[in-house]
A and B are shown apart, each in its own frame.
Chain A
């Protein structure tokens, strides 16, 4: 009871700290925090269509975030969301360009599947490199982000560029307008709410079921907590590590397809940077997952909150001329806060249990005081992947 109370306090406190920091920033930038926050709230939830826009903004964050939780539970860190989103988007774009005349009922699943496959490949590569060549996945996923941005630029400026852009000589790096049949159907008229939103929510629920209700998830979690014990009990640790990153990447890949086929422009477009296409969803998804306690289900509301922050920040820029990058800085603060509160929470729990506030059974004693603070579902239950990353 007390434990879950402390567990719930962390995101709340993080939110308070972020708000306080945001207010300070607004003041420093010469804007009124009250006006600023109300503009943000209005921008995110002010009308039905704005709520829909927030949900659409949250969609890639839910997917990337749910993927992050799968990787984390298997003790691998996936910083490669950006590259996996891009790969998913590119592959699904190629599919839509190749089969523009397929009916919607086939083409939409096909592009989503292509996204899944594209992202999955970009996840499987660092996964296999970690499992079979001991390459640190943090470094390799980051490097793949850098690689895929350039690859996207190459394709969108070259082979995939809108022929019209070539003729006109404007050379904006974007594809031609993609087939209407590939576009994600709109769910509520007059809003941007499209099929991608329920797809993402289903994917997050699926991630939860996978992790806690299937033998595969059991193995992923076992490998995450103790690769040695998993190996000794007959699990294939290398395959599971690869699988974890591939699954994680495939969810991000779906997000990539949704970004393209849920876009207003009906095409894939960039400004030459990764964020120009992804909106940094690959990083913001990490933030959403952390804020959601690395639990796929909690990632959904958490991603909504960050979706709101992003749409709110756009409104902030429109109304008060405060750059939307404020939201990015706030995200950073939230990550730092959530991460540093985990050990603090451990201390609080330990000192409370030493004070006898948690009932511990008298006939059991502690094998290892360091491990005595585990709590299923909470952050402290999470393995610390970086501890394993001593290898290159």
Chain B
């Protein structure tokens, strides 16, 4: 245990925690926007898997990381169009539709991977970029300011999301259709258009999260996410539908995961004990839900399809 509490190991753990938090953060921030508009998307995991596969495949074929990121976002956008059509245009039940998207993404990414790639081959990873001056701060610098660009982007998107929701007309519309769509409708705000746009944002960020995941790992395999997308959805509840809260949740997750990995590497926990430790994040989520369930209130119209009557 004392091996763990050395400065260098702690810094390395923090650094890897922040890296591991990145996909969670991206997906959860997007999902926050979606849920604030009243739309729950349980398909995040499926979207992440699909975008992760396509990003991986692009890097494998072209070696171009930024093209891969772009493709990841585009895949998310396409899945958003599908999900928006199902839930906003057709008014289908959101919970099960999302599960459909998940199963579809799981199957298709698996299928395409086995057909187009076969065995996992490592690809280029996202390089870390040092921020001048700040990265030279002892200990803190390497942990916080020697990360990849998508990590920086994820953290930049926190204030962006806050600003979007709090200070723009679009954000005001999103919040109103998520709380009382009839009121918004009676004032001429298009509930469908607003929700559709929020879904597109949510899904393209899920796509970005998939790209970030695979480009940080440098490898793809079927069911790469292992339920990360579902945790990302839970983190929105965890963060009480606020970007800052969501960030805290994502960081907590990243750090817990990183600590477990570090302990395993240091032999602090036995090999099969790591399976038990791997239960921690999900158990933690359930406990958090129990504690928070009665204290925070979800957007009032969350999961409710809107129709005039």
CB distance from B3 to the nearest CB of A (A): 23
| The residue from B103, B111, B282 contacting A335, defined by CB atoms under 8 A apart | B103
In residues 117-138 of chain B, which contact A (Cβ within 8 Å)? none
Interface size on B, residues (CB 8 A): 64
Contacting pair A328 B110 (CB below 8 A) = yes
Contacts of A143 in B (CB 8 A): 230-231, 234, 282-283, 285-286, 289
**With an 8 A cutoff between CB atoms, is A140 at the interface?**
yes
Interface stretch, picked from A217-225, A231-239, A252-260, A337-345, is: A337-345
**With an 8 A cutoff between CB atoms, is A192 at the interface?**
no
Q: Within the assembled complex, what's the spacing in Å between the Cα atoms of A381 and B230?
A: 29
**With an 8 A cutoff between CB atoms, is A41 at the interface?**
no
Given contacts A158-B272, A339-B86, contact A390 B298 (CB under 8 A): yes
**With an 8 A cutoff between CB atoms, is B165 at the interface?**
no
Contacting pair A386 B95 (CB below 8 A) = yes
CB distance from A75 to the nearest CB of B (A): 11
**With an 8 A cutoff between CB atoms, is B99 at the interface?**
yes
Contacting pair A283 B99 (CB below 8 A) = yes
Of B111, B285, B296, the most chain A CB neighbours within 10 A belong to: B111
CB distance from B256 to the nearest CB of A (A): 13
Q: Within the assembled complex, what's the spacing in Å between the Cα atoms of A384 and B40?
A: 14
| The residue from B96, B100, B271, B286 contacting A77, defined by CB atoms under 8 A apart | B96
Q: Within the assembled complex, what's the spacing in Å between the Cα atoms of A350 and B278?
A: 50
**With an 8 A cutoff between CB atoms, is B114 at the interface?**
yes
Contacts of B101 in A (CB 8 A): 332, 336
Q: Within the assembled complex, what's the spacing in Å between the Cα atoms of A326 and B106?
A: 10
Interface stretch, picked from B66-74, B247-255, B299-307, is: B299-307
**With an 8 A cutoff between CB atoms, is A142 at the interface?**
yes
Contacts of A135 in B (CB 8 A): 286, 289-290, 293
The residue in chain A whose Cβ has the minimal distance to the Cβ of B278 is A150
Given contacts A153-B275, A392-B292, contact A286 B99 (CB under 8 A): yes
In residues 28-50 of chain A, which contact B (Cβ within 8 Å)? 29
Contacting pair A129 B286 (CB below 8 A) = yes
**With an 8 A cutoff between CB atoms, is A348 at the interface?**
no
Interface string of A263-284 (1 = CB under 8 A from B): 0000000000101000000010
Given contacts A147-B279, A151-B275, contact A339 B97 (CB under 8 A): yes
Contacts of B231 in A (CB 8 A): 143, 146
**With an 8 A cutoff between CB atoms, is A327 at the interface?**
yes
**With an 8 A cutoff between CB atoms, is B115 at the interface?**
yes
Contacting pair A325 B111 (CB below 8 A) = yes
Q: Within the assembled complex, what's the spacing in Å between the Cα atoms of A153 and B279?
A: 10
**With an 8 A cutoff between CB atoms, is A79 at the interface?**
yes
**With an 8 A cutoff between CB atoms, is A322 at the interface?**
yes
Interface string of A373-392 (1 = CB under 8 A from B): 00000000000111101111
Contacting pair A326 B86 (CB below 8 A) = no
Contacting pair A340 B92 (CB below 8 A) = yes
**With an 8 A cutoff between CB atoms, is A70 at the interface?**
no
Contacts of B300 in A (CB 8 A): 390
Given contacts A335-B96, A391-B298, contact A145 B234 (CB under 8 A): no
CB distance from A335 to the nearest CB of B (A): 3
Given contacts A135-B289, A342-B92, contact A392 B42 (CB under 8 A): no
**With an 8 A cutoff between CB atoms, is B171 at the interface?**
no
**With an 8 A cutoff between CB atoms, is A357 at the interface?**
no
CB distance from B98 to the nearest CB of A (A): 9
CB distance from A283 to the nearest CB of B (A): 6
**With an 8 A cutoff between CB atoms, is A10 at the interface?**
no
Contacting pair A332 B282 (CB below 8 A) = no
Contacts of B245 in A (CB 8 A): none
**With an 8 A cutoff between CB atoms, is B155 at the interface?**
no
| The residue from A157, A283, A342, A384 contacting B103, defined by CB atoms under 8 A apart | A283
Contacts of B298 in A (CB 8 A): 390-392
CB distance from A306 to the nearest CB of B (A): 12
CB distance from A21 to the nearest CB of B (A): 10
**With an 8 A cutoff between CB atoms, is A216 at the interface?**
no
Given contacts A328-B103, A386-B303, contact A343 B108 (CB under 8 A): no
Q: Within the assembled complex, what's the spacing in Å between the Cα atoms of A326 and B115?
A: 10
In residues 31-81 of chain B, which contact A (Cβ within 8 Å)? 40, 42, 46
Contacting pair B289 A326 (CB below 8 A) = no
Contacting pair B95 A340 (CB below 8 A) = no
Q: Within the assembled complex, what's the spacing in Å between the Cα atoms of A158 and B270?
A: 10
**With an 8 A cutoff between CB atoms, is A333 at the interface?**
yes
CB distance from B46 to the nearest CB of A (A): 7
A-B contact pairs, 6 of them (CB 8 A): A77-B96, A143-B283, A146-B226, A323-B115, A328-B107, A329-B107
**B positions within 8 Å CB-CB of A:** 40, 42, 46, 82, 86, 90-97, 99-108, 110-111, 114-115, 222-223, 226-227, 230-231, 233-234, 237, 271-273, 275-276, 278-279, 281-283, 285-286, 289-290, 292-294, 296, 298-305, 307, 309
**A positions within 8 Å CB-CB of B:** 25, 29, 77, 79, 129, 133-136, 138-140, 142-147, 150-151, 153-154, 157-158, 273, 275, 283, 286-287, 290, 322-323, 325-336, 339-340, 342-344, 369-370, 384-387, 389-392
A-B interface, 10 closest residue pairs, ranked by CB to CB distance from nearest: A332-B104, A328-B107, A335-B100, A329-B107, A386-B95, A325-B110, A332-B103, A154-B275, A336-B100, A323-B114
